[in-house]
Amino acid sequence: MSFADWVENNQQHLIDRLAEVVRIPSVSGDAAYRPHVFAMAEWLQNAMRALNIDASLHALGKQTLDGKELDLPPIVLGQYGNDPNKKTILVYGHYDVQPALKEDGWTSEPFELHHDLKSGRLYGRGSTDDKGPVLGWLNVIEAHQQSGQEFPVNLKMCFEGMEESGSEGLDGFIEREKDAFFAGVDAVCISDNYWLTTSSPAITYGLRGLMYQKIVISGPGADLHSGVFGGTVHEPMTDLVHLFSKLVSPSGEILIPGIKELVAPLTDEERQRYEKINFQVSDLESAAGGKITLSDDKVDVLMGRMRYPSLSIHGVEGAFSAPGAKTVIPAKVQGKYSIRLVPNLLPDQVAAICKGYLEAEFAKLGSKNTLTVETLSGGKPWVSDVNHWNYQCGIKATEKVYNQTPDLTREGGSIPCTLSLQDILHKNVMLLPMGRSDDGAHSINEKLDIDNYIRGTKLLGEYLHEVSKVEA
């Protein structure tokens, strides 16, 4: 029996394992959930040891979150096999998840895997992002052990618990371990993204980076009555709304001078690559749940997501947000926005440009309130070389499992360590997604189709077999 047959015959066992991890609410962005993030790391270490993987936890020190000092979740490392005659593949994934509350509009409990028999879907926070894919690697190891098939490569695993919160501490860890744990790695594979559509498998060679800032405006000593103080004081919320309007236009144009100018120019060859991608504007409309695209042109839409920066306004802390008509002047508001970065935009450089611009625009207002701009997190953009053998292995494995040539895509989201792994280890990095475009990562009713979980597990295994066929 092949490992793939074992996977096919043991689907319920693999689904049960996914249910076990979805039950652990390992939300990295909320201090109150931090013990669950640690519990998830322990779970992984135990599961890996049960599969004879040499697994260990590595502390990363402390962080400050919501004014509290907290231990960062550990890096989980694993090594399976150490045969000098085999290639060594490093895989990365994350075991933390986004927050989720039933009240947000979930139709089932977010931290209970709900198996919908009719649609063949597995609903739950982390099912696709990124617990399903992380378990995919463990499933592949177990399938080889149970089917008696020889494992094709040496596998090194690096799983982190802070990806959804900017991967604090990870770059330093990779740097410190580059000649120790990470020594001898031949190529890197990450399964932490999605197909571009719901029907064609994809392989991804680029991600956008991120620069996230908070605009803090304060003035009054406490919240004020607008009947008493309206018309007599500078209002923080009014200043903030004005600054927000200076960041981006409703058609998506970034208004900060000096950002667009840095973007790598578009070549004809690159434009043609987007034209060839099997995608329709309606794919994006259905994933977004509304006909709201900035353009009706397929190539414009693809480039807007893959190769241009974008600026999104996320929220305001401190503003009145409850139901009803409270006549308040909020004393202190904190506006949050971020910019997705592409080559050649780097987070520190963009953060400095934005801070300078916001301070200059604020100065023009003549407001007596105080402004501070804080940078919360960042990640560098990444683009890889698709001509490397690593990609040929991913493509062949996809053709074997799906009988289809994968779309070669760049993605709009970010995985901060991707470029760090490429630059620090000097190795090729490839993204090999498990889930589909409509999985709803970060949204309500996040899901992974059983077919994607099962065939995705086979895909990760077949990829390792393709790697073992590459000439030294």
User: Contact letters (x/-) for Zn ion, 236-265, by CB under 5 A?
Assistant: ------------------------------
Q: Do residues 441 and 428 touch, judged by C-beta distance below 8 A?
A: no
Looking at residue 54, its amino acid is D
Residue with tokens 């007596």: 368
**Interaction of residue 381 with ligand BES, rule CB under 6 A:** no
**Interaction of residue 413 with ligand BES, rule CB under 6 A:** yes
| Closer Cβ to ligand BES, 216 or 415, answer by number | 415
| Closer Cβ to ligand BES, 33 or 151, answer by number | 33
**Interaction of residue 163 with ligand BES, rule CB under 6 A:** yes
Mapping DSSP onto H, E and C, the string for 335-353 reads EEEEEEECCCCCHHHHHHH
User: Contact letters (x/-) for ligand BES, 111-150, by CB under 6 A?
Assistant: ------------------xx--------------------
Q: Do residues 162 and 96 touch, judged by C-beta distance below 8 A?
A: yes
379 binds, among ligand BES, Zn ion, none (CB under 5 to 8 A by kind): ligand BES
Q: Which of residues 144-173 bind Zn ion (CB under 5 A)?
A: none
359 is catalytic: no
Indicate which single residue of 93, 124, 169, 416 sits in contact with ligand BES (rule: CB under 6 A): 416
| Closer Cβ to Zn ion, 33 or 151, answer by number | 33
User: What does the longest C-alpha to C-alpha distance in the chain come to?
Assistant: 80
**Interaction of residue 443 with ligand BES, rule CB under 6 A:** no
Q: How far is the CB of 110 from ligand BES (least distance, A)?
A: 16
449 is catalytic: no
Indicate which single residue of 74, 161, 166, 201 sits in contact with ligand BES (rule: CB under 6 A): 166
Catalytic annotation, pick one of 142, 160, 163, 283: 163
Q: How far is the CB of 227 from ligand BES (least distance, A)?
A: 41
Residue nearest to ligand BES (CB): 413
The values of phi and psi at residue 313, to 5°, are -100, 120
Half-sphere exposure of 400 toward its Cβ, with a 13 Å CA cutoff? 18
Indicate which single residue of 129, 283, 361, 438 sits in contact with Zn ion (rule: CB under 5 A): 129
Binding range to ligand BES, per CB under 6 A, among 72-80, 228-236, 392-400, 407-415: 407-415
Which residues touch 154 (CB under 8 Å, ≥6 apart)? 79, 80, 81, 82, 83, 86, 87, 88, 89, 184
Q: How far is the CB of 205 from ligand BES (least distance, A)?
A: 12
Indicate which single residue of 171, 192, 439, 462 sits in contact with ligand BES (rule: CB under 6 A): 192
Q: How far is the CB of 340 from ligand BES (least distance, A)?
A: 8
Indicate which single residue of 74, 93, 130, 463 sits in contact with Zn ion (rule: CB under 5 A): 130
193 binds, among ligand BES, Zn ion, none (CB under 5 to 8 A by kind): ligand BES
**Interaction of residue 420 with ligand BES, rule CB under 6 A:** no
**Interaction of residue 406 with ligand BES, rule CB under 6 A:** no
The values of phi and psi at residue 205, to 5°, are -120, 10
Q: How far is the CB of 429 from ligand BES (least distance, A)?
A: 13
**Interaction of residue 193 with ligand BES, rule CB under 6 A:** yes
| Closer Cβ to ligand BES, 6 or 453, answer by number | 453
Q: Which residues bind Zn ion (CB under 5 A)?
A: 129-130, 192
Q: Which residues bind ligand BES (CB under 6 A)?
A: 129-130, 163-164, 166, 192-194, 210, 377, 379, 411-416, 441
The residues carrying an active-site annotation are 96, 163
